[in-house]
Amino acid sequence: MSTLDNQQKQLMFDYSSGLTTEEETVKAEGLISTNEQAAKLYSKLKIAFLPLQILGVVSCPDDLAERTVLRLKSLANGRQ
């Protein structure tokens, strides 16, 4: 089982949340079908996003999304 790099993990996150282009979708689906770790990560992300689907959340306001991403990046950088 190969380890996912950060770019592949980001691709799995984006794919799970519906943020991929057609080309990225093809890459993500290929990765899921050939890499056990990617398939496990995708499965966990699907479960994590399930409450949003149940609520019927269609989109997040751009400013909230941007602030959230910046906060997550800040937290990730603080751990390194």
- Which of the two residues, 54 and 17, has the higher pLDDT score? 17
Structurally, the chain folds into a number of domains equal to 1
CB atoms within 10 A of CB 28: 20
Q: Is residue 27 part of a domain?
A: yes
Q: What per-residue confidence (pLDDT) applies to 17? A: 86
Position 1 pLDDT exceeds 60: no
Is 56's pLDDT higher than 90? Answer: no
State which residues form the domain around 43.
Answer: 6-79
Instruction: Give the C-alpha separation, 80 to 70, whole Å.
Output: 16
For residue 2, pLDDT over 70 is answered with no
**In a domain? residue 1:** no
Q: Are 32 and 39 in contact (CB under 8 A)?
A: yes
For 4-53, the pLDDT digits (tens) are: 999 999 999 999 988 899 999 999 999 999 999 999 999 999 998 888 77
